[in-house]
């Protein structure tokens, strides 16, 4: 192991009993298995039906920006 953090971990492992090392390995393996099986979720699925259908996003953005979008467009 070459990074300083990994070197510190190796040094700390020497202080653990064999049983504690085994428990640590099992915990790490469990975390790795958990992240392997978790599939990314589509953002469309997460946000679906969270906003009213009649929302005009462009109009709301213009209101929030206070007309800045128009001044940005005229700079080009």
Q: Give the global pTM.
A: 0.42
- Residues 6+ positions from 62 with CB-CB distance below 8 Å: 69
* pLDDT exceeds cutoff 60 at 63: yes
Residue whose C-alpha is closest to residue 73's, from 59, 62, 57: 62
Residue whose C-alpha is closest to residue 10's, from 40, 54, 41, 21: 21
Residue whose C-alpha is closest to residue 19's, from 27, 10, 7, 8: 27
Name the residue ranges covered by the structural domains of the chain.
4-37, 43-74
- For residues 37-56, give the mean pLDDT: 75
Which residue bears the tokens 């009213």? Answer: 52
CA angle centred on 46, ends 32 and 54, rounded to 5°? 170
């Amino acid at each position: 192991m070459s990074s300083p953090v990994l070197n510190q971990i190796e040094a700390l492992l020497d202080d653990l009993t064999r049983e504690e090392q085994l428990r640590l390995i099992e915990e790490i393996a469990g975390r790795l298995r958990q992240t392997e099986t978790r599939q990314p979720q589509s953002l469309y699925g997460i946000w679906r039906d969270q906003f009213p259908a009649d929302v005009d996003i462009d109009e709301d953005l213009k209101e929030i920006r206070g007309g800045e979008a128009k001044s940005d467009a005229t700079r080009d």
